[in-house]
A and B are shown apart, each in its own frame.
Chain A
Amino acid sequence: MNSALRLEAVSAGYRDRTVLDNFSLDVEKGTMLGILGPNGAGKTTLFKVLSGLLVPRSGSVSLFGQPVARLAPAERARLVAVVPQELDIPVAYTVQDVVMMGRTTSLSRWGQPSAGDRQIVERAMVYTDVADIRDRPITELSGGERQRAIVALALAQEPRMILMDEATSHLDLNHRLEIMQLVERLNQENGVTVLLISHDLQLASEFCRRLVLLDGGRIVADGRPNSVLTEENLRRVYRCAVRVHEDAETGGLSILPAPRLPAARVGHGIGVHVVAGGGCGEDVLRRLTLCGYTVTCGVLNRGDLDAEVAAALGLETALEQPFSPVGESAREAARQLAAKADAIVLTSVPFGPGNMANLDLLEAMRAAGKPVLIMQGIETRDYTPDRAAVRRVAELITRGATPWRDLADLLARLPAAASHPAAVLQEPKRRQLQCFPKSRTSGTCPHQA
């Protein structure tokens, strides 16, 4: 038996909600595994199942070949220890008191702790470098010291597996690194299997040889960091665009949210015509203008929220009288504006009989060979009596229009200027993040260097 952990077809959840559905995972002994995913992906539920806090509805969970359901609590505590994100300790135990609680199941009830227990606690404190502060009340420690003491508590259980539940997320960079290095050392020197939940993708990719990416209670990707943390996977799971960069020197990955990148004028010299209305186009108009696109807009009714934004941004706009259906002259004005543009964007504008003319405009532009980008979810905003807008949009998409999801997605799909200034701007950011992998190869913390 070489597996530290095996879940087979596990379904688990809470009273009215199934979080993990038919979930299977196999982790080899001695692995350092990172479990990633957005909030609600099932990471915490997975940990609760592993630590026996939550009994799965079906399927089997075994730790080191033993089914979790049949483990006595004391046996389980000797196999698995948990380091939580933050432990709220209401009374002023000393560090040593707290670490001694790792021996709860073996402590004698009345007498002094046995020599064996004392030695284990001593070793755990030395290993985590809290031996010097053993006499301090835990309530008076700094975040980093406190978390080291909690790791010592976990070590005192002498576990074969440690679950780190976002154990470093509230620490600053150097203490985060300190804890991770401590755990990595345990993993490498003592062969302790480590599972860690983290929202810090970079940190996880740095320390774990295997990553599991979860979404909606399922495994989306599983494997080496560079095969799991791809832009495509992350976009799918986190529903926002990110940029992954592999450092040629260290092999470390740096991950940046992409929406921050095209702040530069990538749209310089490119025209975009936006079909909006009722305020739904505000963000699109503003962002595209910021990105340097030459934005035009229409058809909008005068007094419409989007018309006001367009006016404020100084955009050329095809306008119709307030509360009127789109007439011939406005339609022609919009057609002329759109004809000058390089791409047409449809925002989340609701459709009724009055503004169906805008869909004619889109169809005409598509036929003219211009890229047409349509915001997803037309079903929810079609107020025409016969669902005509849904049908028309579906037609447009089958004929080559592109659906888009959010601003980052839209920006990624729009044509960009030939010389991409973002690449230049991105450079200093990337360097800052590199201090992380470099400091590790030299084996010191940044604050010590």
Chain B
Amino acid sequence: MKPTTPVPRQTRQARMFWLVLGLTPVILGLCVLMGAAGIGLPDWTTQPVILRLRLTRVLAGFLIGAALSCAGVVLQAILRNPLAEPYVLGVSSGAGLGAAVAILTGFSALGAFSVPLCSFILAVLTLLTVYRLAGPGGSRPSVFGLILSGVMVSSVCSSLLMFLVSVAPIEGMHSVIWWTLGNLEVTSESLLAVGGGLSAAGCLAIWALSPELNAITLGHEMAHHLGVRVKVMVAVALGLATLITAASVAVAGLIGFVGLLVPHVMRTLVGPDHRRLVPAAALGGGAFLAICDAVARTALNVEIPVGVVTAFIGGPFFLFLLHRRRKAGGME
């Protein structure tokens, strides 16, 4: 008998996956218990509204966190770089601009689908623009190129958004600013139903693409050799990632870095195989955003926007990754 054989990586990663799966409901439960008045369930009989508010809020956090995290996984697989993320690539800002246009023009009155639709259209346009600007003439753009053009396009979108806000009627302003910082306070349950539903469906569809996503991380040519319809698959996967990003932004505004931080942590826990990574990232992202929101609600006397909390954790994390990769020299 061999003394103390190390646990095989595969087994360890499988165990971690079950741990993530098991911990997520516990975390979500704790988030429901956390309130401004301390930990505990609000009295069901006297305060049914508060309980309902908390439940929808945790649900929104979970779905949106899952969506943003899955979108990050897809972008990282297709661009073959762990720094890709909807917020960094400007997709979120584009979606935000779309949503703001829908809200401020009154287009949103047409139904719960209108805001996500507007977000989606502008998010797709943004992604195409960023990709186009990053790489000259069809060549595969470098990561720095992508990040740089992502930041630029993102700030153009933000300033357009600010322009719309400043010319818009004054009463809408506070809510729009709150919303650009990320806010899980659900104003319309039908919007949550549509946005959350789209996000959940998108995550499942992405999970179904796992074998192809795996192959694509070996490079587009190699994926072709392995029998993947690369062009179709890339278009579908990017479309799904953009769709769920747009749906999340339409519901909760701009929440950054979830798609960067969570997939990275999950990759070290459950391994990079997408068949396991996608569901783990969804669960982990959901739990992470729910916690961040609970902190945002309860940490101070006043509520802070949840996007502030995620950026506070995610920004330094992004810089850390960037620094480490540059030191490793594997940037291109």
Contacts and interface: CB of A to CB of B under 8 A. Distances in A.
A73 B229 contact: yes
B174 interface: no
A96 interface: yes
A101 B218 contact: yes
Contacts of B227: 73-78, 104-105, 157
A94 B276 CA distance: 13
B132 interface: no
B65 interface: no
Contact of A91 (B10, B82, B209, B275): B82
B213 to A, nearest CB: 10
Contacts of B85: none
A225 interface: no
Interface stretch (B149-157, B265-273, B286-294, B297-305): B265-273
Residue of A73, A84, A92, A107 most packed against chain B (CB within 10 A):
A73
B90 to A, nearest CB: 22
A87 interface: yes
A178 interface: no
Contacts of B267: 91-92
Interface string B205-240: 001111110110111011111111100000000000
Interface residues of A, number: 35
Nearest to A78: B227
Nearest to B223: A104
B10 A135 contact: yes
A104 B225 CA distance: 10
B114 interface: no
Given A91-B217, A91-B272, A104 B224 contact: no
A84 B224 CA distance: 12
A90 B211 contact: no
B226 A94 contact: no
Residue of B81, B267, B273 most packed against chain A (CB within 10 A):
B273
A90 B208 contact: no
Contacts of A98: 218
B212 A104 contact: yes
Residue of A52, A78, A88, A102 most packed against chain B (CB within 10 A):
A88
A80 interface: yes
Residue of A80, A84, A92, A135 most packed against chain B (CB within 10 A):
A135
A46 to B, nearest CB: 15
A168 interface: no
Q: Is the interface of A mostly helix, strand, loop or mixed?
A: loop
Given A73-B229, A90-B80, A91-B267, A52 B218 contact: no
A82 interface: yes
Contacts of A87: 218-219, 222
Nearest to A163: B225
Interface string A50-90: 01110000000000000000000111111011101001111
Contacts of B9: 94, 135-137
Contacts of B207: 109-110
B224 A53 contact: yes
Contacts of A157: 226-227
Contacts of A81: 225
B3 interface: no
B81 to A, nearest CB: 7
A157 B227 CA distance: 9
Interface in B153-202: none
Contacts of B136: none
Nearest to B80: A90
Given A94-B271, A97-B273, A104-B211, A88 B226 contact: no
Interface in B81-99: 81-82
A332 B284 CA distance: 93
A90 B217 contact: yes
A90 B219 CA distance: 9
A93 interface: yes
A47 to B, nearest CB: 10
Contact of B221 (A53, A77, A78, A137): A53
Given A88-B219, A91-B272, A101-B218, A77 B208 contact: no
B210 to A, nearest CB: 7
Given A73-B227, A73-B228, A90-B217, A97 B222 contact: no
A132 to B, nearest CB: 12
B329 interface: no
B111 interface: no
A441 B81 CA distance: 46
Contacts of B211: 101, 104, 107, 109
Contacts of B272: 91-93, 97
A164 to B, nearest CB: 12
Contacts of A89: 217-218
Contacts of B8: 135
Interface string A103-143: 01101011000000000000000000000000111000000
B226 A102 contact: yes
Given A89-B217, A101-B214, A82 B225 contact: yes
Contacts of A135: 8-10
Contacts of A76: 227
A102 B222 CA distance: 10
A364 to B, nearest CB: 58
Nearest to B81: A90
B225 A96 contact: no
A52 B224 CA distance: 8
Nearest to A81: B225
Interface of B: 8-10, 80-82, 207-212, 214-215, 217-219, 221-229, 267, 271-273, 275, 330
28 contacts: A51-B224, A73-B229, A74-B227, A81-B225, A82-B225, A84-B222, A87-B219, A90-B80, A90-B82, A90-B330, A91-B82, A91-B217, A91-B272, A94-B9, A97-B214, A97-B273, A98-B218, A101-B214, A104-B212, A104-B223, A104-B226, A105-B227, A105-B228, A109-B207, A109-B211, A137-B9, A157-B226, A157-B227
Interface of A: 51-53, 73-78, 80-82, 84, 87-94, 96-98, 101-102, 104-105, 107, 109-110, 135-137, 157
* A-B residue pairs, 3 tightest by C-beta: A77-B227, A105-B227, A91-B272
Given A90-B82, A91-B267, A110-B207, 7 more contacts: A51-B225, A73-B229, A89-B218, A90-B80, A94-B271, A104-B215, A105-B226
